[in-house]
């Protein structure tokens, strides 16, 4: 079942798009703060995203990382509004040359075409003049940045948060780098996480701390079982049970065993 619902949080406006139900539940939230759009939502949701974008004049588009659910409509929005998105330099490079999307992700989100973006300026501001601090947060994607609004204590967390308890990992994700990025972000002052999938999370700093602690605790268990001589597959089964249908659908690209293998290498 497809969903497309709008909501607000203070002066933040949002539309959630995607589908719910079954193993392929996947939704994305496109945010608008004043004249600024944060990320672009997946291209297969354009028919719902288009009227939302059209509602108000767009003055700025900020992209957190290249993944197709975040960048998918960037070209559509650029064509419609004439606004060239701002993105981290590495994201600009990736979007300029285009990138391969695994079939399961293409099925969920659609394509993301080649696009020319402008790199983030030294002093980044929202369209309303509010200061923005970009924070480089690799681990989920090598180009990912979170955007901190220090005056509000809000963190646009890209895909750094998602949930307090990590159950699976993509094959291109790295748990150690993810923990390092979370630690880096936790040094900043913020209370609210604005997550592109989960929504607005109050008490977000605590939730992100919980996520970090959970990963480290889980890594401790994985490493203890590894020392006892268990294989990754055995450890996965012991700690997380059977792989989910999503793992099978993705050819284990997104799976529990990836989390175990990556946590085995975390330094504790």
Q: State the residues that interact with Zn ion by CB under 5 A.
A: 67, 159
* DSSP result, 80-118: HH-PPPEE-HHHHHHHHH-----HHHHHHH--------E
Q: The dihedral of CA 256, 260, 265, 268: what is its sign?
A: positive
Name the residue with the smallest CB distance to Zn ion: 67
Distance in Å, CB of 233 to Zn ion, minimum:
27
Helices marked H in the chain — which ranges?
46-55, 68-71, 74-81, 89-97, 103-109, 175-186, 204-227, 232-240, 245-249, 256-264
Enumerate the β-bridge partners of residue 19: 2, 26
- State in angstroms the smallest separation of the CB of 164 from Zn ion: 18
Distance CA 189, CA 152 (A): 10
Query: Rg (Cα) of the chain, in Å, rounded?
Result: 18
Least distance to Zn ion, CB of residue 116, Å = 21
| Minimum CB–partner distance for residue 165 and Zn ion (Å) | 18
Closer residue to Zn ion (CB): 13 or 159: 159
Q: Token digits for 69?
A: 């659910």
- Is residue 65 a contact partner of residue 143, using CB atoms and an 8 Å limit? yes
The full 3-state SS of 193-221, as one line of letters, equals EEECCCEEEECHHHHHHHHHHHHHHHHHH
Q: Which is nearer to Zn ion, 159 or 243 (CB)?
A: 159
CB nearer Zn ion, residue 49 or residue 222: 49
What b/e string do you get for 147-174 counting C-beta neighbours within 10 Å, with b at 16 or more? bbbeebebbbbbbbbbebebebbbeebb
- Of 159 and 232, nearer to Zn ion (C-beta) is 159
Report which DSSP code applies to 120: P
* Closest separation in Å from C-beta 56 to Zn ion: 26
- Minimum CB distance to Zn ion smaller for 36 or for 137: 137
Comparison of 61 and 222: residue with beta carbon closer to Zn ion: 61
Tokens 């690209």 belong to residue? 253
C-beta of 197 vs 212, nearer to Zn ion? 197
Q: Nearest approach, Cβ of 141 to Zn ion (angstroms)? A: 5
Smallest gap from residue 69 Cβ to Zn ion (A): 6
């Amino acid at each position: 079942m497809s969903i497309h619902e709008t909501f607000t949080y203070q002066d933040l406006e949002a539309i959630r798009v995607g589908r719910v139900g079954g193993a392929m539940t996947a939704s994305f939230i496109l945010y608008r703060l004043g004249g600024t759009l944060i990320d672009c939502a997946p291209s297969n949701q354009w028919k719902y995203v288009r009227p939302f974008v059209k509602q108000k004049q767009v003055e700025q588009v900020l992209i957190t990382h290249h993944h197709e659910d975040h960048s998918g409509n960037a070209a559509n929005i650029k064509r419609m509004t004439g606004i060239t998105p701002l993105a981290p330099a590495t994201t600009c490079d990736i979007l300029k040359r285009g990138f391969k999307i695994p079939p399961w992700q293409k099925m969920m989100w659609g394509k993301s075409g080649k696009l020319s973006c402008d790199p983030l300026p030294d002093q980044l501001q929202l369209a309303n003049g509010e200061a923005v601090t970009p924070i480089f947060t690799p681990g989920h994607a090598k180009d990912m940045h979170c955007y901190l609004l220090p005056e509000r204590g809000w963190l646009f967390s890209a895909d750094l948060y998602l949930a307090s308890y990590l159950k699976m990992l993509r094959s291109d994700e790295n748990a150690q780098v993810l923990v390092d990025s979370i630690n880096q972000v936790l040094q900043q002052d913020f209370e609210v996480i604005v997550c592109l999938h989960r929504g607005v999370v109050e008490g977000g700093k605590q939730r992100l701390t919980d996520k970090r602690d959970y990963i480290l605790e889980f890594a401790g268990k994985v490493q203890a079982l590894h020392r006892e001589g268990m294989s990754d597959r055995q450890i996965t089964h012991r700690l997380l049970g059977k792989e989910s249908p999503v793992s099978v659908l993705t050819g284990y690209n997104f799976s529990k065993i990836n989390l175990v293998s990556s946590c085995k290498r975390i330094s504790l």
